[in-house]
Amino acid sequence: MNVEQVREFNTEKSIKETLNKNASMEAFHTKAHFWGRLTIWTVIALTLFLPIYLSFGLGYHPGWTVILNALAAYAGVVAVVWVLEPIMYFPILGVSGTYISFLTGNISNMCLPSAAAAQNAIGAEPGTEKGELTATLGIGAASLVNKLILIPIIIGGSVVIANIPQQLEGIFPLVLPAIFGAVLIQFAMKKPTYGVIALIIGLGVNLISMPIYLRSLICIVLVVLICIQLEKMKEKKQTL
């Protein structure tokens, strides 16, 4: 076998491996979509069952006016998040991780940090196939541990809450900002300039008087646009 034949053989082997890998990932995504949609729609149906039963089965329906007014008030604050969160979290969570995260909840304070920590531990880049599988395993493990801890806490929750010192109760509102700060630093270490830009914009937007539901959207849009422009400037400098 000459050099050309060896190269052709290696090229064919590489192509076959790539095709097999893509086919495996496509099959994985197909199953993820099937089970993800099935479980989420099942949970939606179960969630709606109780209010429907209370309203029409037991006759406790409060009237559509009350329901629509409450929905409008709630949507006015968080409706943008319904569209923003799936787009914002998807690059880190991936297809399967997104389904699990939105099914179990606690995305920002459990699923997202778990996925980011797992990816960082093995050096997997977000948005890659390796990153998605890593995020899925990390989220799955975190969700399992969360449920194992929550079950006894829920059962004996009243006892635990009654015995929590007042000093610790003041710490609870700081937990979520601390988690977001840790995630920011973790990603900012890879791109320090972008981390500083995100921090400055985040502080600036929160100091300006505006509706709460617009703050996250404006922060994300501004950071993404600025970072894209910086990348374009770097490419232009490299080509000169």
Confidence (pLDDT) at 180: 76
Lookup result for tokens 């900012």: 188
Instruction: Name the residue with higher pLDDT: 212 or 178.
Output: 178
- Pair 111, 99: CB distance under 8 Å: no
Whether residue 24 is contained in a domain is answered as: yes
pLDDT band at residue 36 using 50, 70 and 90 as cut-offs: very high
pLDDT score of 9 more than 60: no
- Pair 205, 218: CB distance under 8 Å: yes
pLDDT score of 80 more than 60: yes
Whether residue 141 is contained in a domain is answered as: no
Whether residue 54 is contained in a domain is answered as: yes
Domain count, the chain: 1
Whether residue 106 is contained in a domain is answered as: no
pLDDT score of 3 more than 60: no
Reduced to 3 states (helix: H, G, I; strand: E, B; else coil), residue 224 is helix
- Provide mean pLDDT across the span 209-219: 75
Task: Give the pair of three-digit tokens for residue 215.
Answer: 């703050």
Q: pLDDT tens-digit profile of 108-151?
A: 878 888 888 888 888 888 888 888 899 999 999 988 888 888 77
pLDDT score of 22 more than 70: no
The pair phi, psi for residue 58, each rounded to 5°, is: -105, -5
- Provide mean pLDDT across the span 202-220: 79
Confidence (pLDDT) at 40: 93
Whether residue 15 is contained in a domain is answered as: yes
Query: Which DSSP string corresponds to 130-180?
Result: HHHHHHHHHHHHHHHHHHHHHHHHHHTHHHHHHTS-HHHHTTGGGHHHHHH
pLDDT score of 210 more than 70: yes
- Pair 119, 125: CB distance under 8 Å: yes
Q: Give residue 165's Cα distance to chain centre.
A: 32
pLDDT above 90 coverage of the chain, percent: 13
- How many CA atoms are closer than 13 Å to the CA of 89, on its beta-carbon side? 31
Compute the Cα dihedral for 98, 102, 108, 113 and give only its sign: negative
Whether residue 203 is contained in a domain is answered as: no
pTM of the entire predicted model = 0.63
Q: pLDDT tens-digit profile of 45-78?
A: 999 999 999 998 898 888 888 888 888 777 766 7
Lookup result for tokens 């209010």: 51
Confidence (pLDDT) at 64: 87
- Provide mean pLDDT across the span 161-184: 77
Distance, in Å, from the CA atom of 227 to the CA atom of 127, rounded to the nearest integer, reads 17
What average pLDDT is seen over the chain? Answer: 81
Whether residue 113 is contained in a domain is answered as: no
Confidence (pLDDT) at 186: 74
Domain region containing 14: 1-61
Whether residue 155 is contained in a domain is answered as: no
Confidence (pLDDT) at 41: 94
Distance, in Å, from the CA atom of 82 to the CA atom of 112, rounded to the nearest integer, reads 16
Lookup result for tokens 């797992």: 118
Confidence (pLDDT) at 240: 67
Q: Give residue 116's Cα distance to chain centre.
A: 10
pLDDT score of 34 more than 90: yes
